[in-house]
A and B are shown apart, each in its own frame.
Chain A
Amino acid sequence: MSDLIRLKNVEKKYKNGVTAIHNLNLAIEKGSFVFVIGGSGSGKSTLIKMLYREEKPTKGQVIVGGLDVAKLKNSKVYKLRRKLGIVFQDYRLLPKQTVYENVAFALECIGEKKDSIRIKVLKALEDVGLKNKVHEYPDKLSGGEQQRVAIARAIVNEPKLLLCDEPTGNLDPDMSMEIMKVLEDINKRRGTTIIMATHDKEIVNKMKKQVVTLKEGHLVKFKQKGKYEDEAI
């Protein structure tokens, strides 16, 4: 399998002088499911942010799906964003729009046709198990369901890569596992590469996926079928 993501000697230093990532080298293959773990300030979120070009690396190369993210002009960032889906801890849904409208919004913004929007949105909602809630508003849904809407919105454009920044951070263990099942299903059925930053030990240990461990901005370990190792963090 070929690499979807490749980071070469990446360093990220913020304006306040804090270096969040030090000389990071990493290659992630297409179709993989990777956990990025580490304590607070380990650089997990910075790494995810660099992948969707919210942050630019200070040094080195970040290549996502053949695009050199660091060299991408601000006005062209949307080209990268259309190739990936992003899920956050706080769902980021539009409260005055229904489940269907929230998911459709992602396609409307990029000028997709109405017919095609309908087909894709219903398919995405089916994949996350919310086909029976299309007309509900977000505030009528549980946290887990809201996060599933956010996932549906992230995958509706059929991206090759799905980035998740602590998607279970606001959920109880049962709901968290529910979300993980949805993500695993997307990974298997759609072949979408998933990178998920988390500090949920139980999830990492149960899922037995690839694990990238970061500590103070350094890559400590990159293991297949890894575990959450406290001592490394």
Chain B
Amino acid sequence: MKLFRMLGRSIRDAVKSVIRNFSLSLASISCITITLIIVAIAIMASYNVQNFTKEIERDMTIVAFLDNDATKSDVKEIEKEINSISNVDKYTYQSKQEVKEKMQAESDVFDTVLQNWSDEESPLKDTIQVKVKDVEKINKTAAKIESIDKVAVVRYGSGMVDKMIAAFNQVEKITYGIVIALIVVTVFLIINTIKLTISARRREIGIMRLVGASNFTIKTPFIIEGMILGIFGSIVPVLITMYGYTAFYNHFDGYLYSQLIKLIQPEPFIYQVSLSVIIIGIIVGMIGSSSAVRKYLKV
């Protein structure tokens, strides 16, 4: 009960202090707001990048084209060898006949061209499509498959996709750098806000000490003040996350530029991001205020 009473008092004091030092509080809140907007965008962008790189990676397939003279027993032998490679997840065999039918079904142009080709003339080959467990080891797995007897050539995910993923990763790292720098600046601003609050209340703190207030009682209002600044600072970023992302998603119909880049569904994604933004705001506020309390209150 006593703890609740003291907490109630601390919250009351903290709110009073935010109002009393309104202009300074507003400066801190604005700084937290800007930081958190960027944090929110960074979180949403990085999750989306992670999401679609995973999708791309999931789609990456090794296609092994077999020699024209590969017999059925050769195919079985090749399948057996492919199956023995540890990174292979699953594989499917398609005979050139099946490939031909598939292509003919896809378009009329293919249909006409392929009809005119005899089996000898046809450039089509029997293929085995292989899905791997770990995409990062796809090079080695492809090389192993290529070395199998009667496998003519092997094709897999183009270098462009790799480059795109690497570029996204680079952008992600730079964004994190900016976010960390902004958080540091914000923490310093909060330290200053709380420092001013402390100096405005120096007399009161002195009396509190004399009458036997514990360190907890003295410190808590300032730490709560930092948390309140964090919460106020997260309001706009949360709104931007909730409404902004949903609008963005609806505007692009869930895909960015092409079917390749699929965006994450707004729900429950926006709630998760909003929660993270609020928590980051509170933590940043707390870190700033506690270090100010430690530095200037010496408790």
Interface residues of A (CB under 8 A from B): 52, 74-75, 77-83, 86, 92, 94, 105-106, 108-111, 113, 153, 157
CB distance from B16 to the nearest CB of A (A): 11
Nearest A residue to B5 by beta-carbon distance? A111
- Interchain CB contact under 8 A, B210 and A108: no
- Interchain CB contact under 8 A, A110 and B204: no
- Interchain CB contact under 8 A, B5 and A113: yes
- Interchain CB contact under 8 A, A109 and B206: no
- Interchain CB contact under 8 A, B211 and A153: yes
- Interchain CB contact under 8 A, A111 and B217: yes
Nearest B residue to A93 by beta-carbon distance? B207
For B217, the chain A residues whose CB sits under 8 A away are 109-111
CA distance A92 to B210 in the complex (A): 10
- Interchain CB contact under 8 A, B211 and A75: no
- Interchain CB contact under 8 A, B213 and A78: yes
Chain B interface residue bracket vs A = 10 to 19
For B212, the chain A residues whose CB sits under 8 A away are 78-83, 109-110, 157
- Interchain CB contact under 8 A, A94 and B213: no
- Interchain CB contact under 8 A, A109 and B5: no
Q: Which of B208, B211, B215 contacts A157 (CB 8 A)?
A: B211
Q: A106 with B203: in contact, given A111-B2, A111-B217 (CB under 8 Å)?
A: no
Judge whether B90 is part of the interface by a CB distance below 8 angstroms: no
For A79, the chain B residues whose CB sits under 8 A away are 212
Judge whether B54 is part of the interface by a CB distance below 8 angstroms: no
Nearest A residue to B214 by beta-carbon distance? A78
CB distance from B77 to the nearest CB of A (A): 78
For A109, the chain B residues whose CB sits under 8 A away are 208, 211-213, 217
Q: Which of B2, B9, B207 contacts A94 (CB 8 A)?
A: B207
For A86, the chain B residues whose CB sits under 8 A away are 210
CA distance A153 to B215 in the complex (A): 20
For A80, the chain B residues whose CB sits under 8 A away are 212
- Interchain CB contact under 8 A, B211 and A111: no
Judge whether B167 is part of the interface by a CB distance below 8 angstroms: no
For A78, the chain B residues whose CB sits under 8 A away are 209, 212-215
